[in-house]
Structure 1
Amino acid sequence: MKFSENWLRQHVPTAATREQLAATLTAIGLEVEEVTALGAALDGVVVARIVSAEKHPEADRLQVCQVDTGAGMVQIVCGAPNARAGLVAPLATVGATLPGGIAIKAAKLRGVESFGMLCSAKELGVDADASGLLELPVNAVVGAPLAEFLGLPDASIEIKLTPNRADCFSVRGIAFDVAAATGSAVAALDIAPVPAASEATMQVELNAGADVPRYCGRVIEGVDATAPTPVWMAERLRRSGVRPVSLLVDVTQYVMLDIGQPMHAFDRDTLAGPVGVRHARAGEVTKLLNGQDVTLDEQFLAITDGRGDAQRVIALGGIMGGFDSRVTDATRNVFLEAAHFAPAAIIGRGRKLGLHTDAGHRFERGVDPELPRIAIEYATRLILDIAGGRPGPVIEAALPEHLPQPQPVALRRARLARVLGLTVPDAEVERILQALGLAVERSDDGWHVTPPSRRFDIAIEEDLIEEVARIHGYDAIPTTLPGGASRLVAPSETRVDTATVRRQLAARDYLEAVNYAFVDAAWLELWQAGEGAVPLANPLSAELGVMRTMLLPGLVAALGRNASRQQDRVRLFELGNVFRHNPDGSPLETQRVAAAVCGAAHAEQWGVGARPVGFHDLRGDLDSLAAASGARLDYRPSAQVWAHPGRSADIYRVDGGREQRLGWIGQLHPRLQRALDLKLINDGDVIAFELDLGPLVERAIPKAGAQSKYPSVRRDRAFIVADSVPWAAIQATVHAAAGPSLRELVLFDRYQGKGVETGFKSLAMGLILQDESRTLTDRDVDTVVAEVTAAVEREHGAKLRA
């Protein structure tokens, strides 16, 4: 927000210097980014009129001008392209010093004497325009000091606003904060209703419900749209970063900057009526003021003209007016509009069209719903005073049940003192709140405070405490060191912390990746993982429109970017949250861990031959991660759509008879890999896993126990089973059949070839048995081995290999 210092002081008279004012604004949360002094040294610069302008005899680009200074005629040699007879422009007389340090002296230019300098806005330090002389109104008083005529000296102040301070997108809104901080009072807003001088009206219809609960309009006939914008208004607009365009447009801009209500002016003669407000229809097209043709959908608010088949869109509600109904110099009858648009109905709409407008910026954050009628009266008075005309009555359409109503908020004295760490006197609290425009009523334990309609950000007690704190002064809050009785919370022994997970993966040569939680919906559709995705109401861009339902799409994309930059061995992992709608519509947020690898299994070295990374390499990494929590993982064939059939598995945690699915591990489907256009070295494969982190890192509390003093016994057995039988299934059968005496099961050989029938495999395993209370006898061991053998043969059709 940029504004004129003098404009602000008109709303809130204060003795604070410019430096003190800037410091105060920053101290109360309205951070001052830049202060540009204007017209600080214009002594000797006056308003002058060029009486004649003739070509310089020795230079094509120079003119010899006779200039009326109000105190006589002087000769000026000037090179400005717009210098001409009759032009009123600033003249720096001999002896003046301009803001850039230029001292004005009598001089000869190409043999012709010059007694002063006609000036551009840039040379005077009032604007950046250096294209020609600063053109002043023809009715300006010749000889008057320029500083007095332009309302100088002044300063352009730019502040950085946080999104919750929508009320400070106007000079008057800022004035309330300044008044509270400096002990001043805001001048009364004296905007008397302008009585109707004609019966000209325009019917208004509201058909957008709570999105547009108030719309005001007024017809003004017989306006002189060619009337120049007054210097005082034009200068305030320039100092606020707005370039004057034409009177009618400038008036609406001025009202918006002054009191905060965006407005629009239509050429009444281009409208058939009635003017309506509704949601746009899909596919409707309209041309905006900037000449852009836009296609709308149901999310946009349309200002319409006419009825039935003749109805047309004449403006984009809360964002920008239409091209065909714009005001021009030929306009004689004007229809003024001021409406209240709900923030939720405007947020993101301009960004969707690539537009950013002052009106949209304000409506997105919230505009005072009580301002539309005031703004209409204010703009009417300005137009009548400058351009004449006959106003009709103000027409207002409203849906009172949808207008936001300020609600009282309780502020407790004890709570205020506890949060701030100091006691603010009651009188000071009341002064601050009342100076900010809040209605204050005392109660037994504090106050009941009702915010004005412009303060959308005050809804709870902490909001009021913040107001007191920032105006009373953050520097007045004492610095108190924390006491020594801090309560230390020991990390839970029932979970492996995420730092350990990160260290474990880093130790196995992975690099951590951090991706956006927002992704492109097309990504998820490519992975067929878009079901239940949570869309964003106000995305940063169209490519970041939904919350991710998986970590792998972003992680694999990062892997692909690395591989395309000649990285032949990439190993990435990520810890992050994924988001999904439950079937009942409630949101679900889950923390997961994922990893993706491609290229060689090991870094290049002389001791180990090169080979591509495979499923079992990644499984080994995952098993080492599970070992930190003592989890026993079970791998079962997977049917995920993104997975390579036969080269992937679903992962289950199996503990104490309880099993829980954690996630997936395996190779990406070649079809998906081609669709992702992954450019891997040697056209390799991508191996990955993704698991829910919570169940993976749960662990039982360790219990100390004595090592058995009795010897262990090992028995080896080899079975021939069908190639389709997974080792995990046999492993589960052996553990169930062997009972508590089985201490460890080792698979030490897998064989296919001569002596083994095609379609079968030989699995050789070692059973290590031990008891804690006695030495196992041969009979004990033989019994266990026999039960294991029988169970494997029975459940898996295996045969004991000779």
Structure 2
Amino acid sequence: MKFSENWLRQHVPTNATRDELAATLTAIGLEVEDVAELGESLDGVVVAQILSAEKHPEADRLQVCQVDTGNGTVQIVCGAPNARAGLKAPLATVGANLPGGIAIKAAKLRGVESFGMLCSAKELGVDPDASGLLELPADAPVGAPLAHYLGLPDATIEIKLTPNRADCFSVRGIAYDVAAAAGGEVAAFEVAPVAPQSQARLAVELHAGADAPRYCGRVIEGVDASVPTPVWMAERLRRSGIRPVSLLVDVTQYVMLELGQPMHAFDRDMLKGPVGVRRARAGESVKLLDGRDVVLDGQFLAITDADRVVALAGIMGGFDTRVTDTTKNVFLEAAHFAPSAIIGRGRKLGLHTDAAHRFERGVAPVLPATAIEYATRLIIDIAGGVPGQVVEAALPEHLQQPHPILLRRARLARVLGLQITDEQVGRILHGLGLSVENVAEGWRVVPPSRRFDLAIEEDLIEEVARIHGYDAIPTTLPGGASRLVAPSETRIDEAAVRRQLAARDYLEAVNYAFVDAQLLEAWNLDAGGVPLANPLSAELGVMRTALLPGLVAALGRNAARQQARVRLFELGRVFAANGNEAPLETRRIAGAAIGSPQAEQWSVPSRGLGFHDLKGDLDSLAALAGAELEYRASQPAWAHPGRSADVYRDGVRLGWIGQLHPRLQRTLDLDAEVIAFELDFGPLFSRTVAQATHLSKYPSVRRDLAFVVAEKVSWAEVSAAVRSAAGPALRDLVLFDRYQGKGVEPGFKSLAMGLILQDETRTLTDRDVDAAVASVTEALQRSHGAVIRG
């Protein structure tokens, strides 16, 4: 929010200096981001009028001007392109000192004497425009001090507002906070109703329920819209960051800045009536003030004229019904829209308007009628006109009504840790414009309708603390004992998982929980996506259904910056739609890598990353929980055929591991092969409580066997069959060789394994071991057609 310092002081008189005012605003939570001084040191600068402008005899770009100063005529040599006879402009007379240290002296320019300088806005320090002389209105009094005429010196103050302080998007709203902090009083602001002088009116209808519970309108006939905006109004708008356009538009902007109520002016002759508010229908379109044609859907609120859309409610007016300098009859509108009906709609169209910015945060529902009366008075006083009756449509059941809040004296002292006198508390609450009644426990407070952020007792305590001063609250250490909770042994701590992956040369990535819907479509993971009602941008409009799309995108950004070896992991939540209920959230862990398995060094041969490299990393994670993972071949849409597997633990699917499909890699603009995994975090890292057992005092026996099986048979299948057949004596099973080549038929492979057998009650005999080996051999032959390799 940007505003004029002088404008604020008009609403809240104070003796505080500019620096003190800025410090006060920051201290009470209205952080001052910038203070730009305007028009300092303009003594000797007056309003002047150019009587004649002749070409300089020795310079093509200079003119010799005869200038009326109100106290005689002086000769000025000027190089401004807009210098012309009849123009009124600022004149710095001889002896004046302009901002920036420019001292004005009599001089000769190319042999012609000049007694002063006609000035641009930049030379005066009132605007960055240096394209020509600052053109003043035709009614500017010649000879008047420029500072007095423009209301200078002044300063533009820009403050940073938090979303809950919608009331401070107006000069008058800020004034209440300053009055409370500085101990002043906000000046009275009475808007007397303008009596109707004609029967002109337009009917108003509401068809949007709670989204638009109040709409006010008024017809003003016979307005001279070509009248220039008064300089005092134009300067206040300019110092508030708004460029003056035309009188009717400027009046609505001025009222919005002063009171906080957005308004719009229609050309009455372009309307048929009645004017209404309803939800837009899918496929309807409207041409906006910026010239764009936009197509609407049912999420937008539309202002209609005889059921045709003429404006976007709370966002922007329509092009076809706009006011121009030729407008004679005006229809003013001011309405109250629910924030939920406006929020995000402008960004959906790529628009950010002052009106939407205010409506999204909340505007007082009592303001529309006041704004209509105030704007009517301004227009009639400046441009004339005959006002009609104010027409109002309202749905009282949907209008927020302020409710009393009890602020307890004891609660205030307990929360803040200090005693604030009743007198101080009362002064603060009254200064903020709250209605206060003293009661036995403390104060019964009714906040005004503009303070949407005040709903419970803690809100009032915050207001007292904010205005009293956070620096006045003593710093004390909290007391009491903390309850220590031992970590559960049935799950692996996330910190341990992070340390394990960091030890295996991974870096942790933290991505947004929302992604581009098109990215999920590229991965074929868009099913069950949860769209955001108010996304930060169109590229971040859907909650992620998996971690890998965002993680691989981060991998690609690193690879695009000449990082040949990248290994990333992420712990986070994914989301899935759950009908009308809250989205389902699942904790996941994912990893992705490109490049070589190890950092480049002379003692290790260079090779490409493979499936089993990440499988080893995944097995090391499972080992933290004492889990053994099973890998079953799979082929999801994003995976490379034949290089992909689903991961199981105890028969339950946890996730996926494998290489990305080449087609997907091309879509993502990735040159290197990407190996990745993603699994559910909870089932992977759950574990049973470890129990100590004694070591067997009897020796173990190892038998090595080699079986020839079909290539399609996985080691997981072979291992399961061996463990089932060997019985309880099997302590461990080790695969130590896999062979294909001479001596093994094509389409088959040789798997060499070691069976480690041991009993806790006796020493195993050769007969026991042979029986176990025979059982394993028979089971493998029966289930997988395996034969002992000769």
Into which bin does the TM-score normalised by the smaller protein fall? over 0.9
The answer to whether structure 1 residue 175 and structure 2 residue 175 are counterparts is yes
1:278-357 matches, within 5 Å, as 278-307=278-307, 311=308, 313-357=309-353
Residue of structure 2 equivalent to 1:621 = 617
| Counterpart position of 2:255 | 255
Percent identity reads: 78
Query: Larger deviation: 512-521 or 110-119?
Result: 110-119
Q: Tell me which of 447, 458, 463 is aligned to 2:459.
A: 463
CA contact (8 A) 2:704 2:754 kept: yes
User: 8 Å contact 2:665–2:671 — kept in the other structure?
Assistant: no
Identify which of 507, 518, 524 aligns with 1:522. Answer: 518
Task: Trace 1:532-543 onto structure 2 (pairs within 5 A).
Answer: 532-543=528-539
- Cα-to-partner distance string for 1:599-640 (whole Å, 9 max, x where unaligned): 444444444444433222221111111112211212223243
Q: Contact 1:560–1:679 at 8 Å: present in 2 too? A: no
Distance 2:306 2:7 in 1: 40
The 5-angstrom pairing of residues 335-484 of structure 1 reads: 335-442=331-438, 445-482=441-478
- Cα deviation, residue 344, structure 1: 1.9
Displacement of 1:528 in angstroms is: 1.6
Distance 1:673 1:98, change over 3 A: closer
**Counterpart position of 1:700:** 688
Bigger mean CA deviation after superposition, 721-730 or 661-670: 721-730
Shift of 1:580: 1.4
Moved more, 190-199 or 726-735: 726-735
For residues 557-636 of structure 1, what are the structure 2 equivalents within 5 Å?
A: 557-563=553-559, 567-582=563-578, 585-636=581-632
What per-residue deviation string (whole Å, max 9, x for no partner) do you get for residues 753-773 of structure 1? 566566554433322222344
Q: Among residues 767, 775, 798, which one is paired with 2:763 in the alignment?
A: 775
Find the aligned partners of 1:367 and 1:190 in 2 and give their Cα distance: 19
CA distance in 2, matches of 1:605, 1:40: 67
The runs of 5 or more residues in structure 1 that have no matched partner are none
Of 702, 717, 720, the residue aligned with 1:732 is: 720
C-alpha change, 1:597 and 1:382, in structure 2 (3 Å) is same
**Which shows bigger deviation, 378-387 or 533-542?**
533-542
1:478 deviates by: 1.2
User: What SS does structure 1 have at the residue aligned with 2:210?
Assistant: helix
Q: Deviations over 1:649-675 (max 9, x none)?
A: 221222xxxx43211112333443444
Secondary structure of the residue that 2:103 maps to in structure 1?
A: coil
Secondary structure of the corresponding residue to residue 175 of structure 1: helix
8 Å contact 2:711–2:747 — kept in the other structure? yes
Q: CA deviation at 1:377?
A: 0.3
d(CA) in 1 for partners of 2:249 and 2:773?
95
CA contact (8 A) 1:94 1:104 kept: yes
Greater CA deviation, 284-293 or 753-762? 753-762
1:711 aligns with 2:699: yes
TM-score (ref. length: structure 1)? 0.92
Superposition deviation, residue 534 in structure 1: 1.1
Q: Quick one: structure 1 residues 72 and 758, their matched pair in 2 at CA, closer, same or farther if it must change by over 3 Å?
A: closer
Q: Which amino acid aligns with 2:523?
A: W
Structural mapping, 1:99-248, within 5 Å: 99-248=99-248
What displacement does 1:376 show? Answer: 0.5
Distance 1:578 1:690 in 2: 11
Question: 5+ unaligned residues in a row in structure 2: which ranges?
Answer: none
1:750–1:764 CA contact under 8 A, matched in 2: yes
Between 475-484 and 354-363, the greater mean CA deviation after superposition: 475-484
Displacement after TM superposition at 1:641 (Å): 2.8
Q: Distance in 1 between matches of 2:556 and 2:637?
A: 20
How large is the RMSD of aligned CA atoms in angstroms? 2.6
- Output the CA distance in 1 between the equivalents of 2:147 and 2:279: 50
Asked whether the 8 Å contact 2:40–2:99 carries over to 1, the reply is yes
Q: Note closer, same or farther for the CA distance 1:448–1:713 as it changes in structure 2 (3 Å cut).
A: farther
Preserved CA contact (<8 Å) 1:564 1:679: no
Q: Is the 8 A contact 1:417 1:423 kept in 2?
A: yes
In 1, the alpha carbon distance for the partners of 2:681 and 2:226 equals 70
Q: Which moved more, 1:631-640 or 1:330-339?
A: 631-640
Structure 1 residues 558 and 103, CA gap change in structure 2 (3 angstroms): closer
Q: CA deviation at 1:775?
A: 3.3
TM-score, normalising length: structure 2: 0.93
For residue 666 of structure 1, the aligned residue among 655, 658, 666 is 658
Q: State the secondary structure of the residue aligned to 1:75.
A: strand
Deviation string 1:406-446 (CA, Å, 9 cap, x unpaired) is 34444444443343232333332333223212233455655
Per the alignment, do residues 605 and 42 of structure 1 end up closer, same or farther by CA in structure 2, a change over 3 Å counting?
Answer: closer
After superposition, the C-alpha distances for 1:295-322 in whole angstroms (9 at most, x for unaligned) are 3232222222224xxx3x3222211112
Please state whether the residue corresponding to 2:733 is helix, strand or coil: strand
How big is the shift at 1:455? 1.6
Deviation, 1:486, is 5.1
- Residues 250-259 or 185-194, more deviating: 185-194
Please list, as runs of the form range in 1=range in 2, the aligned pairs for 1:52-71 lying within 5 A after superposition.
Answer: 52-71=52-71
CA contact (8 A) 2:364 2:450 kept: yes
Amino acid at match of 1:230: P
Aligned match of 1:750: 738
Of stretches 152-161 and 258-267 in structure 1, the one that deviates more from structure 2 is 152-161
8 Å CA contact 2:49–2:69 kept in 1: the answer is yes
Give 1:341 shift. Answer: 2.0
Q: How many residues align?
A: 790
